[in-house]
Structure 1
Amino acid sequence: MPMGLGQRASAVSVQEVIEMVSINGAIAMGIGDITGSINAGKRADIILVRANGPNIWPIGNTETAIVQSGTASNVYTVLVDGRLAKRNGRLLAYDVDSIVRRAQQSSARILNTADEILKF
């Protein structure tokens, strides 16, 4: 949550941000009874954050460092409903290399088509 010009760091507390992205986010989506907090009977949707990256270190307060300086690259393990979706920084459910390759092929086709259209 990088600070923008003219913003105050105290406008929203770190605890409020954590609640926004967990229990309050789940409640807002109408699924607070099944996820959003770690309780018996709820889905195990959990992230593990690598807190030793240069963007987070040095850590005074772990939660503050993660909220104010963490990025998606710091998330190295994700469990969705108790199942691993990301382990050691790699997505398990998707072949990322294949997705990137197909996106590059699509991009090339789009650029070639645009080039042909512009030649008319």
Structure 2
Amino acid sequence: MPIELIFYMALFIVCGGLQVYFTWSLNQWPARWVPLVPWLLVLALMLLTGCESVPERPPPPDPAPVVCTLPAGLTEQRTEPVRPAGDYTQRDVATYVTSLHAWGAEGWRRLAAANQYSRACEARHTSTGD
């Protein structure tokens, strides 16, 4: 509600109240409502000023998020190589480190494939307008 409208409403209430008080106190029954007509017109004009304002347009909605489900082979967790335990040799340690390196490299390859799949899916959806 604009601040001007609050001021005019307060002015209307005070002046209208005084008008009613003095009109009724003088006991002028036939002319009791005639002086209130201008105040009622002012009230009607104040209430119609709200119809003059135009609300601002809401911002456009955000684009729908692109949801691309990764294939199952890219999301499943591979088992980690078994650590050598107990009495182990240098060969056991070398085999473990080699298999751990291969396990980690495979994980990075799957991560790169998941990234590539997601980018291709996003490009596919943005180019078609979905």
Could you say which TM-score interval applies, normalised by the shorter chain?
Answer: under 0.3
* Bigger proportion of residues as helix: 2
* Bigger proportion of residues as strand: 1
Instruction: Indicate the structure (1 or 2) with the bigger Cα radius of gyration.
Output: 2
Q: TM-score, normalised by structure 2?
A: 0.23
Q: TM-score, normalised by structure 1?
A: 0.24
